[in-house]
Amino acid sequence: MAQDTLTIVDNRTNRPYSLSIEGGAVRATDFRQIKTSPDDFGVMTYDPAFMNTASCRSSITFIDGERGILEYRGYPIEVLAEHCTFLEVAYLLLFGELPKEAELKNWVHAITHHTMLHENTKKFMEGFRHDAHPMAMLVSTVAALATVYPEARDIHDPSNRLLQIERLIGKMPSIAAMSYRHSLGFPYVYPDNDLSYSANFMNMLWKMVEPKYAANPVLARALDILFILHADHEQNCSTNAMRSVGSSHADPYLATAAAAAALSGPLHGGANEEVLKMLDEIGSRENVPSYVKKVREGHGKLMGFGHRVYKNYDPRAKIIKWTAEQVFEVTGRNPKLDIAMELERIALDDDYFVQRKLYPNVDFYSGIIYQAMGFKPEMFTVLFAIPRTVGWLAQWQEMLSDVDQKIARPRQIYIGQRARQFVPMEKRALHAVTSH
């Protein structure tokens, strides 16, 4: 019978080694026994950007990138997007099961009653420049919450952890809405506990002088669906930041701020903002072929295309396309959709993109919906950070209770010089320095 082992022969010593295979993986530390002498450190694995390294065992989110499958706790994303609210999905991601009615009621109550921000936080936000990027405001303000809740540092107490989780999920839309209104110069709006998670977010964004904000139900549902789609995506760049910073036992506000900072980059959550810039640059459907040709020739990338894991259509992009149609019935059609669809059609028929299995990802269509709803592109990544906070926190909890985990500390292969002779200042040679 075949054994779940891998036999390796070290050709330097002719010695064979047998490594166990578990869950399709060998343990990188097992390679350390492969040595040429007793004082040899042993063989390391070299994997920049984690191209083929599992950093954890997780039971939260499953992705089959070849087949375009995404599941939260075993439920297909399409089913959750159709039948659940965002907070229901948040409960599922955090606690592993869909909530019963009473559990959901308590959960929604807990989150709703943590949406208020301390007045000091408001004052802190007022200090940002009028043109500060909303994502930079969000990252800084989430980090600043650590000063408001110093007890969050006790990460070993599960009930204390849960309280911080509820606060973070509750307060994220409030901070996001404040950063939005700050950039417009509008007064901040306080949360309304009568409204659902997304409707309250819309209230804090768009309420003007009316005594009570009435959210359009189609737009509130569309926002809820977009939140469900963005809630978790296993070990991506920002989740890895959350786990890595959290592995030093930093408090959850600081770890979440670090994760949000990772999300802000244009290769990750910042791509949705870049997609809109790209569509603006293309300008019209007629210009699409020449733009694709430029990318094919190595000038820039198609933003919103390609994914480290999906080598097929991102299942979230399909649901977003469907959601876009519902939104456009309320807001009117965003003309950028025609350019985006033409871009997708031409790219998916082009050898360069076909060979590299580059398909639209979640960010390709989300910005077009957000823009139709009235958001400026600078807000798009903030809209991503609100729901992803749930995923970050679920992954953080899982990491803390995983006995295999320790402080994240990669190895390196040192390629610099060693044991150099110190040179006194007057004897040092001039060498070119490009800039200061």
Question: What amino acid positions are annotated as catalytic residues?
Answer: 268, 307, 363
Beta partners for residue 8, in sequence order? 17
Nearer to ligand ACO, 76 or 265 (CB): 265
Q: Around Cβ 71, how many Cβ atoms within 10 Å?
A: 17
- Minimum gap (Å) between residue 268 Cβ and ligand ACO: 4
Nearer to ligand ACO, 165 or 303 (CB): 303
Residue from the set 356, 374, 402, 411 that interacts with ligand ACO by CB under 6 A? 356
Return the structure tokens found at 243.
């786990």
Nearest residue to ligand ACO by CB is 306
Contact 204, 174 (CB under 8 A): yes
Side chain identity at residue 159, one-letter code: S
- Minimum gap (Å) between residue 209 Cβ and ligand ACO: 37
Say whether residue 113 binds ligand ACO (CB under 6 A).
no
Say whether residue 360 binds ligand ACO (CB under 6 A).
no
CA 67 centroid distance within chain: 21
Contacts with ligand ACO in 176-205 (CB under 6 A)? none
The CA-based dihedral angle spanning residues 375, 380, 386, 392, taken in that order and rounded to the nearest 10 degrees:
180
Residues making up the chain, counted from first to last = 436
Nearer to ligand ACO, 43 or 358 (CB): 358
CA distances from 312 to 356, 399, 409, 420 (A): 10, 29, 33, 51
Residue from the set 153, 301, 333, 376 that interacts with ligand ACO by CB under 6 A? 301
Contacts with ligand ACO in 247-286 (CB under 6 A)? 267-269, 271
Residue 348, phi then psi, degrees to nearest 5: -70, -5
Beta partners for residue 192, in sequence order? none
Say whether residue 340 binds ligand ACO (CB under 6 A).
no
Instruction: Identify the residue whose tokens are 């492969």.
Output: 34
Contact 4, 20 (CB under 8 A): yes
Instruction: Identify the residue whose tokens are 């959850």.
Output: 252
* Interface stretch with ligand ACO, choices 21-29, 84-92, 359-367, 419-427 (CB under 6 A): 359-367
Return the structure tokens found at 413.
């292969």
Contacts with ligand ACO in 26-45 (CB under 6 A)? none
- Minimum gap (Å) between residue 113 Cβ and ligand ACO: 31
Q: Around Cβ 214, how many Cβ atoms within 10 Å?
A: 11
Contacts with ligand ACO in 305-324 (CB under 6 A)? 305-308
Nearer to ligand ACO, 99 or 387 (CB): 387
* Interface stretch with ligand ACO, choices 19-27, 163-171, 176-184, 294-302 (CB under 6 A): 294-302
Give ∠ CA 292-293-299 in degrees, rounded to 5: 90
Nearer to ligand ACO, 191 or 360 (CB): 360
Three-state SS at 227: helix
Say whether residue 386 binds ligand ACO (CB under 6 A).
no
Nearer to ligand ACO, 255 or 295 (CB): 295
Say whether residue 90 binds ligand ACO (CB under 6 A).
no
- Minimum gap (Å) between residue 255 Cβ and ligand ACO: 19
CA quadruple 385, 390, 369, 327: dihedral sign: negative
Nearer to ligand ACO, 58 or 361 (CB): 361
Residues that bind ligand ACO (CB under 6 A): 236, 267-269, 271, 295, 301-308, 356, 358, 361-363
